A and B are shown apart, each in its own frame.
Chain A
Amino acid sequence: MKKFNRWFGKNLIRIYAVMGFTYLFIPIVYTFVFSFNDYVRSNLVWRGFTFDNWTDPCAPLDICPALGNSIKIGLIATAGATLLGTLIAFALARYAFKGRGIVNTLIFLPMATPELVLGASLLTMFLDLGFNPGFWTIVIAHVMFCISFVVVTVKARIASLDPRLEQAAMDLYANEAETFRRVTLPLVAPGIAGGALLAFSLSFDDFIITNFNSGTTITFPLYVYTHAERGLPAQANVIGVSMFLLALFVVLAGQFVGRKRKVSA
């Protein structure tokens, strides 16, 4: 017993962490299990095991077009927000200029404003201007709320760079453009990739802002929400779990490649 107590005390934090991860993954396990449910109309009760939902994920009307919209919007919004956010991050991290306080405030405010207010105010403006909400208003909204997150991520990376690396490049007669292209940019790249990944995941999973500015366009989260009351097909679980596994695979593969490159370099 004494031995157990000591082991317990030593590993308390690990036990706690395992419990934390369990909590985090319970709904995903549930979603995964019910993706194999032989459901009729609504996927609430277990009725038997089937692979049908996995072999035909596009069977329910609208579900795959909704997923397609989410991916398209995610990619366009990520590209836009990453470009705009990275430029701002370089300006903030590398230059002294007047109006810095205003810029910082304008970056901070969208993050301190609830999504509901961002979405609702944008819709108010679009309606005032007589704009019909749809695919492009969703893209505009997503770029807007992702910019700040990209700025914060990329800025942190630039700030952590060793300035001596760039000085060394200049000492070796690289001009400013060359130094930027061959030293600074490759060093900041992981930060930009991190910002882009964050932007994509925020955009892909966004419901609240999208719900306000979507018009008749349907994204995957909107599909899930609108069908939740009438009965959600198990194919929604298939898509959710697939995206989760895909994301896990992409990030882990990226880590693995990164580690390998570091070893060989």
Chain B
Amino acid sequence: MVAIARKSGGANPLDSLRQKVAMPYLLLLPGMLWLIIFFLSPILTLVSTSTKVPGMGIGEFVQEYRWANYWDAITAMQTQFIRTFFYAIIATLLALAISYPLAYAIAFKSGRWKNVLLVLVVAPFFCSFILRTIAWRQILAQDGIVFKTLEFLHLISPDTRLTSSAFAVVTGLAYNFLPFMTLPLYASLERIDPRTMEASGDLYANGITTFRKVTLPLSMPGVVAGTLLTFIPAAGDFVNAQILGNPSTTMIGNVINAQYLQTTNYPLAATLSFILMIAILIIVLVYIRKSGTDELV
């Protein structure tokens, strides 16, 4: 360390020490400024908009610090909030159930195809998210292939509907955010030393016990990261409910979107947005605390 300081720092060793102290801040400055200006201050603007009330003119709002806006918004949109979190949790569990074996197979059973399979997990991202959601709507539609097959097998009556339903919205959410679940799961499974599993087998644990006592606990960081990365966008989504749902599957995202862009009731939209953000943050923090992961990023 001394040698380095002498080499790079020039005459006064203190100069280079001062540079060392300033260095991390210099590296952080541009990115942090960006986040402060375009993330943090918009959130503060959002909070300040949320307590405004309608003014005299149309589309005009005045600041009255009316915190009761929050109570009003919660009582008015209670059903949509509960529905949103219910859908998001079911979709996250569904994505976990689909992704875990998938990630496990890629990590342990794929041999030299590992990298190719990993790419295949992410590749659907590039074929637009909305295009894929529309594709699901067509596939599940009354005259689509899935419906016709089920009807032919007499597994479904002709007047049930697969699209425009809660089922379609939840599977759509699970589908769209699946790679967010699979990748962290894969990353944590891949890091497990296969010898720990062999050792468990040597100690007469069967496959299920090995999985329950060794593999699953060691892959928990991936489970936590994956469920969060799926839950957060699912809870804030409105596209799936818009394309695959019906009026009784409206999620809070649809309400916020409509209040902003159609009704232009900015205070209500801001109030709902902030409630959604805080609710998700609380859920995330409690979940992280419970699961014992302390590194956030």
Contact of B106 among A17, A90, A118, A205 (CB under 8 A): A17
A224 nearest in chain B by CB position: B130
Please classify the interface of chain B as helix (H, G, I), strand (E, B), loop, or mixed, using the class held by over half of its residues. helix
Q: Is the CB of B134 within 8 A of A232?
A: yes
Query: In the bound complex, do residue B126 and residue A205 qualify as a contact, i.e. CB atoms below 8 Å apart?
Result: yes
| B147 → chain A closest CB, angstroms | 14
A-facing mask of B155-173, CB < 8 A → 1, else 0? Answer: 0000000000000000000
Q: Are B41 and A125 in contact (CB under 8 A)?
A: yes
Which residues of the other chain, A, contact B41 by a CB distance below 8 angstroms?
125
Residue among B101, B128, B143, B239 with the highest chain A CB neighbour number at 10 A: B128
Whether A16 contacts B102 by the Cβ 8 Å rule is yes
A235-255, CB < 8 A from B? 236-237, 240-241, 243-244, 246-248, 251-252, 255
Q: Would you call A50 an interface residue if the criterion is a C-beta within 8 Å of the partner chain's C-beta atoms?
A: no
Q: Is the CB of B36 within 8 A of A201?
A: no
Per the bound structure, the CA–CA distance linking A109 and B236 in Å amounts to 14
Main secondary structure of the interface of A (DSSP, over half): helix
With both chains docked as a complex, state the minimum distance between the C-beta of A250 and any C-beta of chain B, in angstroms: 10
B102 and A207 form a contact (CB under 8 A): no
Proximity bits, B166-187, A CB within 8 Å = 1, else 0: 0000000001001000000000
**How many of B's residues come within 8 Å of A, CB to CB?**
87
Are the CB atoms of B175 and A23 closer together than 8 Å?
yes
Q: Which residues of B contact A (CB under 8 A)?
A: 3-4, 7-8, 20-21, 23-25, 27-28, 30-32, 34-36, 38-43, 45-46, 49, 98-99, 101-102, 104-106, 109, 115-117, 119-136, 138-139, 143, 175, 178, 228-229, 232-233, 235-239, 243, 253, 256-257, 260-261, 266, 269-270, 273-274, 276-277, 280-281, 284, 296-297
What are 14 of the A-B contact pairs (CB < 8 Å)?
A27-B135, A31-B127, A104-B296, A106-B35, A110-B35, A116-B257, A124-B45, A125-B42, A144-B34, A148-B297, A175-B8, A225-B130, A243-B126, A247-B125
